[in-house]
Structure formats: structure tokens, C-alpha cells
Amino acid sequence: MSRAKGHVREALAHDSAVKHVRGTAVYADDIVEPEGALEAYVAMSREAHGRIRRLDVSAVAADPAAAVVLTARDVPGVNDVGPVLPGDPIFADGLVEYAGQSLFAVAARSVAEARRAASKAIVEYETLPAILTIEQALAAKSFLLPTEKLRRGDPDRALAMAPHRLGGRLEIGGQDHFYLEGQVAFAIPGEDGDMLIYSSTQHPSEVQHLAARALGRRDAAITVEVRRMGGGFGGKETQAALFAVIAALAADRTKRPVKLRLDRDDDMIMTGKRHDFVIRYEVGFDADGRILGLKLELAGRCGMSPDLSGPVNDRALFHADNAYFLSDVEVVSHRLKTNTVSNTAFRGFGGPQGMMAIEHVIDEIARHLGRDAYEIRRTNLYGTTTRNVTPYGQTIDDNILPELLDDLAKSADYAGRRRQVEAFNAKSPVLKRGLALTPVKFGISFTNTMLNQAGALVHVYTDGSVHLNHGGTEMGQGLFVKVAQVVASEFGIDLDRVKITATNTGKVPNTSATAASSGSDLNGMAAQTAARAIKKRMAAVAAAALGVAPEALVFADNKIAAGGHALEFGEVAKKAWMARISLSATGYYRGRSSISPMARRRPRCWSTR
């Protein structure tokens, strides 16, 4: 008997792997522009902080190549693309707050012509003092969002009583996402005010809603589609919206398709990075390296606007314990406003910065005591039945870290490798080697419970093929093929019968971003729910045809079978259609709330993670 192929737990290539290798995968910039399409260029501020005394674009508009020039006054709706809180103007309106902020946009037949036309603008500023660094922001008390504090026990007393005590400072730098595919959007106007936007975004619904708001339209008039991204890493969770909205504004004004593709240098100037931090700490500990008291100050540089800095810094706060039990602890989190680009989501979303802080403290304790840092880490791990509650009130269930680390240390011959490293370093005056075995506790899914939801749409056609759509986005991580495997497994059919389709807000609405390590779980469950609804209807048809109870049926090997008799999956689909039974279903899934007692006490409208 043949067996259906491509189910869950089978190791498969990425659904676009062949296209990637051959260079035939179609990204937003590969979509062929129709006749009359335009390309846009965004002019940027050269000042980090200043009032715009004069912005004269009359010469730009008079350029024969310029089809349209857009400034803040040309936005028919809301001149802001702040994802949660306002503060991210589409075009600067009287004030610039970082070098690289968008001033105006030009659309022409080519981006080169648009750039040349933009150079004719006259921009005059009144330069204002700029705060650029974390230390400057702390000194000026320049806070973008309220400082948050997490406290348990009495860390001051614990520090005072501790046999050993250390204090110090750590700087954690930022990082650019450097996705292979830069920021790009292609907007195509339709009739009755409709707009189709192809956007390289991790959050199509957010782009839809912000474009509608800027255009002064209802959300239903805007459709956003994403087949694939050439990498995202968080850099396209919120910040893709600006460029999609500018393209849509230009397309709406000219009634012509408009593509906006950033050059790499402009991309790196205009878009946010991983948040850089300055960490200060005081720690008290005993002779075994057990932490008795800890005070941490996390100062994050957010940039000029909120963007996702609230939840990023929240997650740093919630990960400052990493895998270690802290009985008496205080963690203070400053969210600082600077005249720099607004920093944004990046893989780990603040978690790496919080974990880096405590890992640095562990290393300093080890150096002070002259001990192997692995021993100090092992000593401070969360327990399995006691010492297993986080500072924010969540009980650590099913903690396997102590056992896992012991197994890893043994199987990796950590002790032997450590001796080899020490022997090498003793003989090498310049080159040095290092070794670490470091645990990680990382929270997946969104801290804001409402975002832990997903939708899917599944159609079964009368030939037995399946159309699959869901709210997740594909950025190279293999999400699409994983969700398709779920659907193929439910129906018991070959994976090649499941058609993977582009994420589209017109098919599955109001979705969350593909982020927070949740894309497979949320969208896979939504697709499974939809498939099961259709499967139940098909089972009733097959049961009647085979003369068996529906619960006796097995969906496998591209057939629906019971009692030694079977019908082809496509045959049952056709019978269902002839019986006027729907072969289409939407699926919806919402994750269980895992929010901590502290988070329940501290709701924040900006906590989007």
C-alpha cells in the first residue's frame, strides 16, 4: 500500500528551496511593474534634532520627471505609522528627531530620476541640542516611557549581609538586521479607492491598518499580500509599514502603481536596530558563588519614538534572571529617548540583553572566586521543586536544566576541554581560547495575551487538492511548509496536494505578526482546526457511501477507508460537492494565557509582546 508523503515529523526541504537556488523565487521587488508604474525615493533629514524652518519642494514638483511630491500636508489621513503609540510621522512635520527621518517622497519613472528631483528641495533647520547616547539620556532624564521596576525580597539587606560583594557596568551594543532583501513595497491602486500592497513585512495586518489610516480609508479597502521575505529578524515587524504607506500614498495620488525600494545605505540609516543597553549591577554572594542579593539597572536606548521599545524593554526585564533563582532582587528598566533612529524588534526581542546582564554577573563572580563559571551557573540554577518561582511570579514547571546541563557537561567532556583551553592559554601569550556552557530560559509567544491568536482558510477542491492560507509570513524559516504538513497530515494526503499560497489580508484578517517564536504553533493550530472541520463533513459523506460509522473511518494514504473498503480522497470531495456540502472552512486558534501575576497587575497599552 502506498503511503502519503510529507507529513508532520518528516524532514523536508523548504517549499521554495529549488527556487532559492535557481534564483526564481519571486520577492516584492521581482513583481513585474505594469505599464506606467513609478518608483519612489524618500528624502531624509540631515539633522539629528531641529525645527524645520523651511521646506520648499516647488522645484522638485516642477522637475519634468517628478510625477508626484508628497510632504506631511499631502497625507489625507493620519500622518503617523506608530504601531501602538503615536510618534512615528510618515513625513516630518515641523520637527526632525533623528538624522535619516523622512521629510518628503518623490515618485518618478525611475528611482534615479526621483532622487535627482529630490535633490532640488530647499530645507532649512534651526538646529536643536541632540541627545545621542544612553549616558547623555540618563543625565538629562530623557525618558521615552515610564521606568519600570521588578522587585522581590529585600535586596538591599541581602547585599549588606553578603560575604562577598561586587559592582560594575556593562555595555551591550546594537546590531543591524541586515536582511538580504531590504525594505520594499509595491502599491497598486484599484477602483473605488481600493489598494493592493505587496510588502516585505512580518505583519501584513498592521501594514493594512496603518495604510488605511494614512489614506483615510476603511481597513477593508486595503489588501496586503506577502508571499515571502528575504529575511526579517524583527526588522520588518513594524518598520516595513512606513515604506508601504508611502508607496500607497503615492499610488493613490497618481492612480498609478508605485514601488518603493530602499538602497542598502538608506535602509540602514532609516530603520531601527537592536536596542543597545548600559547595565549597572551590584551583587552579593557567598563562598560557593550563590547569589544572595542583586540589583540591576537596565538602561535601553529606544531612539526617537516608542515603536516596540516598551515591550522590548519589558522582555529584557523578564529575562534578567535567565535560568537562575534570585531570592532578593531588584531590576530597574529605563526606556530612554534619544535623537537617533527608533530601535525596534530584533531576534530575542530584549531577552538577549536581559540574559547578557545576568550572565556577565555570573562571570564576574567566577573571576572573583577563581572558580569555573560553569560551577557558578550550576549552583544558581532554578530548582525543580523549590527555588522555582521567578521574580515576576511564574512557577517554572518541568525544569530539566539541572539534569540537562549535567548530561551536556559529561557528553561534551567539558572538564577535559577546559583543561585543554587552560593549557593552550598558558603557552600562548597573544591568542587565547575560551569555553562556556551556558543555560537559557526563554519565553515564547507574546506577553500581550491578545496577540496569541491566528486564523487560517482551507479549501478542498473536487479533485482532492487543497488550498491553504493563514496569517503567518514566510521569511526563510520554513513556516509555510510546516503548516502545510499539518494540513496534509490531518487529511492523510500527500503534501504536494496542498497548495501553499501567499499571506493575504483579504483571506485571513486581523492576524498577529509572525514573531515571538509563535508562528508555527499559532498558525499550525488554526490550519488544523480548519482542516478538521472539513474532515468531519467529508467523513459523514464517506461513512454513508461505505455503510460505516464516521468514527470508524481512517484518513490515510490519500484515501478514506474502513472495514477493508476505501474511497479516494478526491472521490469523497466530489461526492460532498454533489451533496451540497461545503468544502471550505476557516480555522481559528488562541493560545492559553501564560501571563504572570505581575504582568496582570501591570497592564500596558504598549506591551505588544
List, in sequence order, the alpha helices (H) in 58-133. 58-62, 111-118
Least confident residue range of 60-69, 338-347, 600-609? 600-609
Q: What is the pLDDT of residues 308-321, one digit of tens each?
A: 999 999 999 999 99
With a cut of 50, say whether residue 293 has pLDDT above it: yes
Q: Reply yes or no on whether the pLDDT at 446 is more than 60.
A: yes
pLDDT band, residue 182 (cuts 50/70/90) = very high
Q: 35: burial class by Cβ within 10 Å (0-12, 13-18, 19+)?
A: exposed
Judged against a pLDDT cut of 70, whether residue 110 lies above it is answered with: yes
Q: 3: pLDDT confidence band, cut at 50, 70 and 90?
A: confident
Distance CA 302, CA 300 (A): 6
Tell me what pLDDT residue 593 has: 59
Is the per-residue pLDDT at 236 higher than 70? yes
pLDDT value of position 403 = 96
The residues with which 414 forms a beta bridge, in sequence order, are none
pLDDT at 1 over 50: no
Judged against a pLDDT cut of 70, whether residue 266 lies above it is answered with yes
Q: What pairing do the DSSP bridges indicate for beta strands 291-303 and 329-337?
A: parallel
Domain locations along the chain: 35-128+178-270, 134-168+276-427, 453-590
471-497 mean pLDDT = 98
Which helix (H) or strand (E) element contains residue 163?
Answer: none
Per-residue confidence (pLDDT) for residue 592, from 0 to 100: 73
pLDDT for the residue numbered 591: 87
Q: What per-residue confidence (pLDDT) applies to 104?
A: 99
Choose which CATH entry (3.40.50.261, 3.40.50.460, 3.30.365.10, 3.40.120.10) describes domain 134-168+276-427.
Answer: 3.30.365.10
**Chain centroid offset of residue 359 CA:** 24
Span 132-157, average pLDDT: 98
Give the C-alpha separation, 149 to 464, whole Å.
Answer: 57
Q: What is the mean pLDDT of residues 186-210?
A: 98
Q: Is the pLDDT of residue 468 over 80?
A: yes
**Which has the closest alpha carbon to 182: 263, 101, 245?**
263
Q: What is the mean pLDDT of residues 454-472?
A: 98
Nearest to 271 by CA among 199, 335, 345: 345
Distances (CA, A) of 197 to 221, 222, 259: 11, 8, 10
pLDDT grade for 609, boundaries at 50, 70 and 90: low
Residue 544 pLDDT level (bands cut at 50, 70, 90): very high
CA–CA gap between residue 482 and residue 43 (Å, rounded): 41
For the stretch 345-387, pLDDT in tens is 999 999 999 999 999 999 999 999 999 999 999 999 999 999 9
CATH topology of domain 453-590: Aldehyde Oxidoreductase; domain 4 (3.30.365)
Distances (CA, A) of 421 to 127, 153, 428, 430, 438: 54, 39, 10, 14, 17
Query: What CATH class has 35-128+178-270?
Result: alpha beta
**Quick one: average pLDDT of 338-345?**
98
The structure's pTM equals 0.95
Query: What is the average pLDDT value for the chain, to the nearest integer?
Result: 95
In this prediction, residues 553-573 reach a mean pLDDT of 97
Tell me the average pLDDT across 191-217. Answer: 98
- Closest Cα partner for 42 from 64, 87, 72? 72
| One fold for 35-128+178-270 and 134-168+276-427 | yes
- What size, in residues, is the chain? 609
More confident residue, 603 or 339: 339
Instruction: Answer whether residue 604 shows pLDDT above 90.
Output: no
The stretch 210-239 carries a mean pLDDT of: 98
Joined grid coordinates for residue 546? 461505505
pLDDT on residue 170: 98
Which phi and psi angles does 334 have, rounded to 5°?
Answer: -95, 135
pLDDT band at 2 (very low <50, low <70, confident <90, very high): low
